[in-house]
Amino acid sequence: LRRRIIRAEKMEVVGHLAASISHEVRNPLTVSRGFMQLLLQSERMNYKDKQYIQIAIEEIDRAEAIITDYLTFAKPAPEHVEKLNVKTEIERVIDILRPLANMNSIEIQASLAPFAVKGERPKFQQCLLNVMKNAIEAMPHGGILRINVSIDKDYVLIHISDTGIGMTKEQIERLGEPYFTTKGTKGTGLGMMVVYRIVETMKGDLFIHSEVGHGTDVYMYFPSYYKSDIEKSSKRHQFEQVSY
């Protein structure tokens, strides 16, 4: 009994560590960035000093971006596999991304159904976030982000499409390669690597179709939690058309 209690405590520490990284490391970064921003406005700083501060701010933004791509949903509890409602999880991610979408004049159209998949909630949300964030970032001058949920055989299909800049064949091939980014210092090149890893863990599959100047379609397949989802989908389509 004693040994078991110690192990439980250790597990808790591991969980807390993950949460620390996302929340407790983010806060000091934000505070430091704020003070550097203040220094930038100070009249005592010469041009050279301000250049150094600017670099420090860019580095903080980089650390922040890496945390976003890895640990946005990390929780202070051990993660476990559970039944996930794809509609609920997608809505949660849309809520988080809405400010970014608004800033880019992007309309979000979602056609969601409450199908179930099996997975760890934070990982699944991270996967959706990274794909949708890429879609938004591909439309800096506005566009439409579409999210559709359907059933395809034993799989729940999440189709995420954008009307953005698109990708060349070479870019599609390099997708998921660590540090591959076309966004310069603003990109981490880690987002899609994380996505591929999570999809694999959940025994899913991912396909990309993209055309330069037209947009990108990402098809994510996850094994359906219930076989009955398949019957449900053919009998009564409980889809909701929502514009955000």
Residue showing tokens 């929780």: 75
Assign 110 to helix, strand or coil.
strand
Answer yes or no whether residue 175 interacts with ligand ADP by CB under 6 A: yes
Which of the stretches 60-68, 78-86, 184-192, 228-236 binds Mg ion when contact is defined by CB under 5 A? 184-192
How many helices (H) and strands (E) the chain has is answered by 8, 8
Query: Which of 165, 198, 199, 202: binder of ligand ADP (CB under 6 A)?
Result: 165
Select from Mg ion, ligand ADP, none the partner in contact with residue 68, using the beta carbon and a kind-dependent cut-off of 5 to 8 Å.
none
Asked if residue 210 lies in contact with residue 216, where contact means CB atoms within 8 angstroms, the answer is yes
**Is 58 in contact with 185 (CB distance < 8 Å)?**
yes
Task: State how far the alpha carbon of 54 is from the alpha carbons of 24, 87, 136, in Å.
Answer: 23, 41, 26
- C-alpha–C-alpha distance, residues 44 and 92, integer Å: 45
Binding flag, residue 143, ligand ADP (CB under 6 A): no
Beta bridge partners of 208: 218
Among 183, 203, 209, 214, binds ligand ADP (CB under 6 A): 183
Which tokens sit at 145? 């982000």
Residue 191 binds Mg ion (CB under 5 A): yes
Residues 112-151 that bind Mg ion (CB under 5 A): 134
| Of residues 115 and 164, the one with the C-beta less far from ligand ADP | 164
Shortest Cβ 190–ligand ADP spacing (Å): 6
Tokens 């420090």 found at: 56
Q: Residues interacting with ligand ADP, by CB under 6 A?
A: 130, 134-135, 138, 162, 164-167, 171, 175, 180-183, 187-192, 216
Q: Residues interacting with Mg ion, by CB under 5 A?
A: 134, 191
